[in-house]
Chain A
Amino acid sequence: MIVGGGPAGMAAALEARRAGVQVTLVEERATLGGQIYKQPPPEFAVRQPKALGKEYVAGRVVVERTLGSGAEVLAGHAVWNVWGRGPFDVAVYQHGGTARTLRTEHLILATGAYDRPVPFPGWTLPGVLTTGGAQSMVKIQQVYPGRRILMAGSGPLILAFSVQLHKLGANVVGVLEAAPQPGPGTVARLLRGALGGNLPLLREGIGYLAYLRQHGIPLHYGHAIARAEGTEQATGAVAVQVDRDWRPIAGTERRFDVDTICIGYGFLPSLEIPRLLGCALRYDENQGGHIPARDADFQSSVPGLFVVGDGAGVAGSAVAIEEGRIAGIVVARSIGRLDGATAEERLGPRRRRLAQLERFRAALATAYRIGPGIYEWATDETVVCRCEEVTVGEVRRHIRPGSRDPNAVKSLTRIGMGLCQGHNCSQQVSAIFAQETGRPLLELPPLSPRPPVRPVPVGLIADTSVPEMPSRIVRLPEVEVGDPQKSDVAPEADR
């Protein structure tokens, strides 16, 4: 079973099907493709596929192959829990439909990533959105999110998105790139990394820069978003110069007359399912922080559980595809559908391609690492938990110097307990915790995941065959608050 129908999930499905393995592919959206291969709604007719970009065109091909591969594709089905450890019981529900549990010996997770939420003053105002959100809205829904757009982010993707949006007619008035202008050392590293099969990627990047220059769209290196202004919605943006660690430099603010701010500071993996299953984690800031530890076959610390693609660590779609393919081949081999020799034949080129891609990614990571100062853009008044409306200041006030675990703050303030289940706030909360306690980020456990990992109506998952249970009243003994002697007393049940 594969959870996630983006590039990694579909690649795994295709390799598994190629070896004759029975595959069920679960995707929570109505269409396959994930983010990069996003497909327009079926009611829209695509007259000029090329105008939607090469990812759309490539994506169409893969989506169609997957649908025709003989895999059982469950689109519109969300996974809300996973029980067991081989076999795995995967609880899914369909929007407006039914819920059921599917059992599988081998589980490949390819749940992808989402735009990094970056708290800064005014970030909750309508008009502030992620580059992914802007891209979906303009490219797929064909609607502009606002009249004048400031792009604020870092790395090749902020360039790519800026150009793409502008080509689709969006009024992009400027781009803020947090990293400094690449110096000769960086350029040399990028060139070296680009050799051996990655030149097209580098050429693309150069093309984007040329496009922006050609169209008079200013690119401000070493600048980041300081705040969004407005009351009902964004009516202006203030940018600030930042140092090499992305820390704001006082006295360098400049205002932009825009109504829309797109933030593109990388992505974070969607990790709820691997974490529910207790996968061991490691820390890599540039791949999105805590990510599952995996062996060379992309199997996690939980046997039978593979995690591939951006959902295992953000490395882009080319890497996602290779990882998906490898996991698909390895699962086929482990259930005896492929002999060792054939499996190796198929795995070899994938591993070589991955090594090639890794060289470029490593070069990019040095040039476009996430600056630690990103966590200092929020002030005490800035809302960090968007769902429960908890500010940075409120979080700070609940952290004691000796604390080891951000989950205590969760219990005290409700951060991470809202509908988004910590997607928006956990990274920043960990950073605040690190600042307050002096513990490095990589040592702090992320917020504990709890099922359901998607909001699911109780009526859909309640087992109505179970008869009404008589209620048991449990009377707790009276205890004085803070009395250590009495705190261990167990409650007595009323008989």
Chain B
Amino acid sequence: MPNVEDRRVRDHGAIERGPAVSVMVDGVPLPAYQGETLAAAMLAAGRRVFRYAPRTGSPRGLFCGMGVCYDCLMVVEGRPNVRACMTPVADGMRAETQRGPAEGAEPVPAP
């Protein structure tokens, strides 16, 4: 596993995390703990860019942290526009930085 930084709170032992798991972000494994959101796992690894907005390409990350701003969107298990702050991690979960308009969405069948 590459040497990722860890910005988790470690000091006071007020909370004991769930079991350690691993999530794949852009093909790179990131350590995570059961119960964490994908956003938390990203920020813990110092990864703060979650997507690049479709029109201007501007980098976006966590803003509201409560699921109302829809900025922390990533492609999760092939599904675009998934709010990382509302998505609990699962071992082996695959996530990608979302670039441009949503790709990989299922095509609408012709009428």
Q: Could you tell me which A residues sit within 8 Å of B by CB distance?
A: 28-30, 35, 40-49, 51-52, 114-115, 117, 124-130, 132-138, 141-147, 168-169, 231-233, 270, 383, 386-389, 418-420, 423-424, 455, 471
Contacts and interface: CB of A to CB of B under 8 A. Distances in A.
A386 B71 contact: yes
B64 A141 contact: no
Contact of B59 (A29, A138, A233, A424): A233
A362 B100 CA distance: 46
Contacts, number: 156
Interface in B70-89: 70-71, 73, 81, 85-86, 88
Contact of B111 (A388, A418, A471): A471
B94 to A, nearest CB: 17
A423 B71 CA distance: 12
A169 B16 contact: no
B50 to A, nearest CB: 7
Contact of A47 (B7, B11, B14, B60): B14
A168 B64 contact: no
Contact of A169 (B11, B35, B53, B86): B11
B2 interface: no
B70 to A, nearest CB: 4
Nearest to A138: B9
Given A46-B16, A48-B14, A137-B39, 18 more contacts: A43-B18, A48-B13, A51-B14, A52-B15, A124-B58, A125-B61, A126-B48, A129-B62, A133-B62, A133-B63, A133-B64, A134-B65, A135-B65, A136-B85, A143-B43, A169-B11, A232-B59, A418-B70
B93 interface: no
Contact of A137 (B33, B62, B71, B111): B62
Contact of A143 (B18, B19, B40, B63): B40
A113 to B, nearest CB: 10
Contact of B65 (A125, A129, A144): A129
